[in-house]
């Protein structure tokens, strides 16, 4: 039955072909793309001239001839007994469905319409089946490449399996594609059709490389198609070891990165630019007496690094490294100079302590030797007082004494420095000062008085009365605080503070004055009456009143005098004014108190030069002041 209609069909086809094609128009897509395993759908639509109906429709394929696969008539439809029998069906609108498409289904399908007297028409569709290949595998030449190779060496091989249709492989070097035509590039591609019908493509890249390619990377790209889109996959990136001859060698002081100083750990690095790394040998280079160069091999170096631990200055000198490239038989050498900076301990022209007599002039010289020019400073209590090696001290006084230090730095070598201190002592007889010369006291009270003495050698302070010494400082300037009970006898004798050293003696007297106020004033720790402020205010008031009175009196007197002057001469004196300002007992007190207001520390007796040169004259006057 099927065979009969097939034969009939072919007969019809051959006899009416030339007539039919003009009359019936069949519309079919040119290409239908489908993934392997998916369903293929091929639409078929047609137009028949006039009102005529189709009489039959045939779906058939072309592969070494034509084979009917499906028949649709006005009253019945069926699939022919072909390989497609169980996988196809045709919808009411004549669309052909093929389920689970295989690679073998790839062929041309024909939709043919017969329309009786109107003839027949047909159109064709090419069915294409796609399968994406597996991600590519890349294998790199593990051995490495000699840039001097005669042939173009193999770089890598790339393979992608199970694709359909045949995928393409493109090679890339550093993101740029390589093509067969390129200089020194040779790409060999093999395509294998597996029994499954899928394709495995492998490509081998051969290329000549140079030293510049030492950091180059390579990869392959697979281009393939799936229905409706072109796609690609990249392999991982590989790099290939390239062996190239050494062209340059360098020898540098690798560490430290600053100028080398004694005590540093120093690394000398020798580096040749060949691959593989050459063999390194280090030498110390000497110049012999007859000006010939001598080399002495240093064996301690490892892998091009020569380490010196805690270098001394004798490590300074000329070093050489020789690099031997065994692969390419190249030998090169490089030289460097190592200079180890140093600063010798400081020498002083005078031994510490430097003892000077009051008023002496002297110069202390600080000197040192170093690998580079150095900068010298003299400091006194962290302050720079002189630049250069000389410390000039002239007309020294006690203020000039103390700890001086010479600080040496090397501007060219940060961190390299040295310093040395020298103690200057100014010898002289004691200079004594007391907290106050006049103290108001109340009998039987306990009084504290302080005495301070400058001088070198350090003076010893003694008191004229028996009491207990509550505070004592033996460091320069020495001081002593005495606590004593006020007796009648003490009131009469006063308290005398004496300071003695081998060069002489100084003393100061403290006069005591009994206070006869009814309200007993509380004595402060320094023996000062609390009423002081009140008293001062009182006396100030009196003073102001007195001045006003005086001005008024002068005004009146002036008027009177002017009046009298008109009549005859009258002598004019200062007696009135004198009487008013003459210091009474209270006035005396004010003077004393103002003086004692100043604490002993504020009298500027403490040593300390104000600049480069102490000002001895200035200071001397102050001492005199205090002694009075």
Ligand X SMILES: *[C@@H]1O[C@H](CO)[C@@H](O)[C@H](O)[C@H]1NC(C)=O
* Contact footprint for ligand X (CB under 6 A): 25-29, 41, 43, 45, 53, 74, 91, 93, 95, 123, 168, 215, 223-225, 238-239, 247-248, 312, 314-315, 359-361, 363, 386, 390, 392, 394-395, 409, 415, 417, 446, 448, 470, 483, 523, 525
Residue placing its CB nearer to ligand X in the complex, 278 or 500: 278
Residue placing its CB nearer to ligand X in the complex, 122 or 507: 122
Tokens at 282, concatenated: 């280090």
Tokens at 596, concatenated: 């004692």
Q: Choose among 96, 86, 102: nearest CA to 37.
A: 102
Residue placing its CB nearer to ligand X in the complex, 102 or 316: 316
Residue placing its CB nearer to ligand X in the complex, 321 or 523: 523
- Contact present, 425 and 354 (Cβ < 8 Å): yes
Residue placing its CB nearer to ligand X in the complex, 49 or 583: 49
Tokens at 455, concatenated: 């001088």
Shortest distance, CB of residue 59 to ligand X, whole angstroms?
Answer: 14
Q: Which residue has the tokens 């991982």?
A: 236
Q: From edge to edge, which strands make up the β-sheet containing 390-393?
A: 347-348, 362-367, 390-393
Q: Choose among 248, 258, 319, 312: nearest CA to 283.
A: 319
Shortest distance, CB of residue 559 to ligand X, whole angstroms?
Answer: 56
Tokens at 489, concatenated: 């006898």
Q: Which residue has the tokens 């550093």?
A: 174
Q: Choose among 314, 317, 322: nearest CA to 250.
A: 322
> Residues 357, 358, 359, CA angle at the centre, nearest 5°?
105
Q: Choose among 31, 54, 233: nearest CA to 123.
A: 31
- At residue 196, φ and ψ (nearest 5 deg) are -75, -10
Q: Choose among 141, 145, 143, 139: nearest CA to 242.
A: 145
**Measured at CB, which residue is nearest to ligand X?**
525
Q: Choose among 208, 279, 211: nearest CA to 247.
A: 211
Tokens at 488, concatenated: 């009648």
Query: Under DSSP, is residue 447 helix (H, G, I), strand (E, B) or coil?
Result: strand
Residue placing its CB nearer to ligand X in the complex, 336 or 483: 483
Residue placing its CB nearer to ligand X in the complex, 18 or 567: 18
Shortest distance, CB of residue 165 to ligand X, whole angstroms?
Answer: 7
Shortest distance, CB of residue 248 to ligand X, whole angstroms?
Answer: 3
Residue placing its CB nearer to ligand X in the complex, 359 or 504: 359
Shortest distance, CB of residue 490 to ligand X, whole angstroms?
Answer: 14
User: CA 282, CA 259: separation in Å to the nearest integer?
Assistant: 21
Shortest distance, CB of residue 591 to ligand X, whole angstroms?
Answer: 24
Shortest distance, CB of residue 95 to ligand X, whole angstroms?
Answer: 4
> Residues 507, 508, 514, CA angle at the centre, nearest 5°?
145
Residue placing its CB nearer to ligand X in the complex, 310 or 581: 310
Shortest distance, CB of residue 249 to ligand X, whole angstroms?
Answer: 9
Shortest distance, CB of residue 550 to ligand X, whole angstroms?
Answer: 41
């Amino acid at each position: 039955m099927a065979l009969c209609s097939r034969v009939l069909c072919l007969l019809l086809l051959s006899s009416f072909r030339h007539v039919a094609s003009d009359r019936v128009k069949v519309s079919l897509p040119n290409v239908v793309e489908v993934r392997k395993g998916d369903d293929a759908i091929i639409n078929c639509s047609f137009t028949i001239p006039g009102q005529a109906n189709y009489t039959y429709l045939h779906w058939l394929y072309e592969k070494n001839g034509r084979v009917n696969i499906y028949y649709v008539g006005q009253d019945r439809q069926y699939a022919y007994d072909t390989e497609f029998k169980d996988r196809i069906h045709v919808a009411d609108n004549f669309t052909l469905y093929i389920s689970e498409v295989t690679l073998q289904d790839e062929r041309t399908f024909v939709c043919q319409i017969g329309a009786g007297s109107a003839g027949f028409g047909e159109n064709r569709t090419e069915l294409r089946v796609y399968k994406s290949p597996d991600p590519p595998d890349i294998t790199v030449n593990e051995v490495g490449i000699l840039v001097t190779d005669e042939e173009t060496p193999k770089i890598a091989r790339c393979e992608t399996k199970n694709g359909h249709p045949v995928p393409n492989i493109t090679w890339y070097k550093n993101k740029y594609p390589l093509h067969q035509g390129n200089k020194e590039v040779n790409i060999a591609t093999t395509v294998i059709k597996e029994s499954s019908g899928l394709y495995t493509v492998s490509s081998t890249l051969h290329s000549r490389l140079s030293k510049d390619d030492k950091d180059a990377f390579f990869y392959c790209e697979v281009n393939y198609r799936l229905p409706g889109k072109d796609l690609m996959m990249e392999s991982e990136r590989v790099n290939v070891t390239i062996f190239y001859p050494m062209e340059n060698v360098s020898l540098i002081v690798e560490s430290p990165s600053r100028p080398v100083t004694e005590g540093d750990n120093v690394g000398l690095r020798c580096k040749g630019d060949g691959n593989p790394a050459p063999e390194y040998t280090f030498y110390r280079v000497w110049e012999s007496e007859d000006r010939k160069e001598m080399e002495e091999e240093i064996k301690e170096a490892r892998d091009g690094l020569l380490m010196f631990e805690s270098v001394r200055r004798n490590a300074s000198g000329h070093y050489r490294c020789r690099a031997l490239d065994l692969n390419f038989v190249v030998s090169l050498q490089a030289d460097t100079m190592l200079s180890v900076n140093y600063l010798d301990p400081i020498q002083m022209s005078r031994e510490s302590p430097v003892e000077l007599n009051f008023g002496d002039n002297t110069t202390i010289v600080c000197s040192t030797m170093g690998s580079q020019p150095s900068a010298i400073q003299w400091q006194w209590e962290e302050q720079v007082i002189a630049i250069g090696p000389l410390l000039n001290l002239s007309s020294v006084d006690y203020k000039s004494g103390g700890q001086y230090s010479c600080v040496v730095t090397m501007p060219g070598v940060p961190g390299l420095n040295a310093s040395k201190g020298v103690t200057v002592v100014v010898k002289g007889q004691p200079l004594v000062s007391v907290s106050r010369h006049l103290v108001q006291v109340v009998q039987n009270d306990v009084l504290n008085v302080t005495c301070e003495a400058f001088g070198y050698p350090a003076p010893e302070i003694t008191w004229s009365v028996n009491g207990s010494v509550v505070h004592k400082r033996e460091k320069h300037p020495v001081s002593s605080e005495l606590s004593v009970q006020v007796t009648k006898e003490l009131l009469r004798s006063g308290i005398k503070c004496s300071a003695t050293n081998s060069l002489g003696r100084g003393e100061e007297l403290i006069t005591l004055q009994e206070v006869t106020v009814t309200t007993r004033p509380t004595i402060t720790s320094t023996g000062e009456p609390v009423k002081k402020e009140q008293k001062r205010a009182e006396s100030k008031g009196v003073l102001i009143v007195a001045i006003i009175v005086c001005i008024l009196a002068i005004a009146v007197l002036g008027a009177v005098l002017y009046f009298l002057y008109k009549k005859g001469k009258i002598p004019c004196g200062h007696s009135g004014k004198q009487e008013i300002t003459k210091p009474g007992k209270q006035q005396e007190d004010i003077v004393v108190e103002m003086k004692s207001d100043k604490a002993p520390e504020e009298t500027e007796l403490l040593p300390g030069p104000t600049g480069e040169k102490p000002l001895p004259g200035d200071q001397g006057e102050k001492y005199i002041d205090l002694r009075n």
